[in-house]
Amino acid sequence: MGATMKRFTKVLVANRGEIAVRVIRGAKKLGYKTVAVYSEPDKDSLHVAEADEAVCIGPGSARASYLAIENIIAAAKSSGAEAVHPGYGFLSEREAFAKAVQDAGLIFIGPDPHSIEAMGNKSASKIRMIKAKVPCVPGYQGDDQKDETLVGEAKKAGLPVMVKAAAGGGGRGMRLVHEEKDLLANIQSARSEATNAFGDGQLLIEKAVMDARHVEIQVFGDRHGNVVFLGERDCSVQRRNQKVIEEAPSPAVDEKLRLKMGEAAVAAARAVNYVGAGTVEFMLARDQQFYFLEMNTRLQVEHPVTELVYGVDLVEWQLRVAQGEKLPLTQDEILKRRHGWAIEVRLCAEDAQANYMPQTGKVLAWRAPHGAGIRVDTYLRNGAVISPFYDSMQGKIIAWGEDRETARQRLLKALEETTLLGVINNRDYLHALVSHEAFAGGDFSTGFIGKHFPAEQVAAMLPSRRQIALAAVALYIDDAHRLADENGLTQDFIGWHSSHEAPAEFKLKWKNKEYDLEVLVHDGHLFTTMIEGEQIQIDVSHSSEDEFHYLANGVQAKARIAHDGDSVWIQAEGATWRFTDITLAPVQSAAAGSDGRILAHTDGKIVTVHVKPGDKVEKGKTLVVLEAMKMEFQVQTPVGGTVESVGVEAGLQVKNRQLLVQIKPAV
């Protein structure tokens, strides 16, 4: 503890992305010098540019860089940093990392190793919480990890149950099981994913509290015996057990319940002598009973909503506590500061219409929203490359208001003003969630997305004909500007004809749908398009490389655009779409995979290969398990036949559309 009391002036941030930027800016605001660490693919990342110094700690693989404890300690030593901030994710909740930092004579800006160890394993922490009289969900958290034991304990608890990775978080190694016949497969799958994500396959079983809310309490402790709570956050809107929307306070928590949950959270923190920022997570049932889930021994992704509602800077508090100072506010002072409402959404590089498949690529256009009550935490900028090595979350958009509805309306406007082109993302999906009447009314549970946004409904969304027409207009304008620039012509020549007017033909593709269009331009600005028998007129008043203003059906609007290779991105009328220009492409016939060529659907790493040459396979069989952005995907065959060749092995990094397995289809 003595080493933790000495003053420091330079902080190394052992993380990347938006949290690294957030911590670096927070530390610099207080006058600290900052050091960034980065993997080779992150050398041009924003957190590297923001820091005073930066040290490369290895190649793209997280195991060889951001998870390599010795590399980070070496970076701190070489840069002269006296303290290390872990951010969240990666090593932030590893007892071994906190201990290595302290053993190196450095200050760990977080809890002590024993606190991390006590709460780091869900099974052990639950046993400790039961002793501390913190309400817990019934279940099994024993050391006997045999499949048959876990299946038996799940039956004893009564289905449905949650199968959880004891060492993990973020939805990895977590399965909700409703029927006995599915228990064994889900236990084995959860163990595999947990081992891959956390290096520990231990599982626990919990009775599933259905139609509950996920409500967590922000706690903070110092080295003078003070532990306080800063209200609650409602994180009930989740998919795959990962949070999508978070808000403070919770619509389901009144003052009496807030104090009761806060006191339970403080008791949990005191049970492990907690120092620094932490979060105690609870399931809140309809009858207002709440149950301990886990404690996250770090700063949370969703900490900004607490900061906005309580008017505090939690990173500043972390730095002050790490210096040995007392907490800046007492519990009574904190309770009196609560003001207004804040809602946060997680902007992720994923395709909600393709079962939330992670996406990679280069950012062609990024524009963050601004305005009263709006905060954006991100590392995005034009030209940034989103790689397959790390989490799909790219940033957070947060809105504060005097009341919940004001915050919600501000968030909707902020999402409409957010532009991210070049990589498929969930901006439009988030807007739909926040717009939904159930969310607006505040009466929802962790089943919100499953109930109101089933996968088949999300996948069925299609671009409107006018949005398709706008994409064709964008292509036309882009080609015209390029030709004008190449030939030294003025923009007056756009749409000029030496003889009678003739329409330009376009063929655009979105996913597996193809659209044929005719585009006729009059006077360089009035576009008449014909698509699927419908005539649409678009009058363009102003155009530039990245957007154009137009009039359609008497309404003026603007479209933001980006063009890369044969892809055209269009953001207009509340939605973002990526079309492929196949006007001059040769005719394609067979559907993907029907020829037996099984390709990777994204950049990623091969976890398991289930087949070998000569194997007979049936349609739908899983051939390969692919990990991308910390998630596992089962790559299945769309055809039956015989495996001719396997081009990959476990541990191999693969590129999008790389050949994985060749199958000779059965005749």
Buried b / exposed e along 249-274 (16+ C-beta atoms within 10 A): bbebbeeebbeebbebbbbbbebbeb
Give the three-class secondary structure for 38.
Answer: strand
> Residue 275: which of 124, 102, 439, 144 has the closest Cα?
102
What Rg, from alpha-carbon coordinates, does the chain have? 27
- Helix crossing, 314-322 with 303-310: angle to 10°? 100
CB 401 within 8 A of CB 407: yes
Give the three-class secondary structure for 281.
Answer: strand
Tokens of residue 614, six digits: 């000569």
> What's the rounded Cα separation, in Å, for the pair 603 and 656?
4
Which residue type sits at 527?
Answer: F
Own/partner pairs, 552-558, CB within 8 angstroms, 24+ separation: 552/466
- The pairing of strands 83-85 and 107-108 is parallel
Residue 136 DSSP one-character state: B
The answer for residues whose C-beta is within 8 angstroms of residue 557's C-beta and 6 or more apart is 549, 550, 551, 572, 573
CB 30 within 8 A of CB 316: yes
Give the three-class secondary structure for 209.
Answer: coil
> Residue 528: which of 510, 503, 547 has the closest Cα?
503
> What's the rounded Cα separation, in Å, for the pair 640 and 305?
51
> What's the rounded Cα separation, in Å, for the pair 225 and 221?
7
Residue 603 DSSP one-character state: S
Own/partner pairs, 517-524, CB within 8 angstroms, 24+ separation: 517/468, 517/469, 517/472, 519/469, 519/472, 519/473, 519/476, 521/476, 521/494, 521/495, 522/495, 523/495, 524/491, 524/492, 524/493, 524/494, 524/495, 524/496
CB 83 within 8 A of CB 322: yes
Active-site hit among 298, 346, 427, 466? 298
Question: What are the beta bridge partners of residue 79?
Answer: none
| Percentage helix, strand, coil for the chain under 3-state DSSP, each rounded to 5 | 30, 35, 35
CA distances from 401 to 255, 336, 367, 398, 428 (A): 19, 17, 22, 10, 22
Place of tokens 């040995």: 324
The answer for residues whose C-beta is within 8 angstroms of residue 5's C-beta and 6 or more apart is 223, 323, 324
Tokens of residue 308, six digits: 């906005």
> What's the rounded Cα separation, in Å, for the pair 72 and 20?
14
Tokens of residue 623, six digits: 């051939």
337 catalytic? Reply is no
Chain center to CA of 659 = 27
Q: Which residues are catalytic?
A: 298
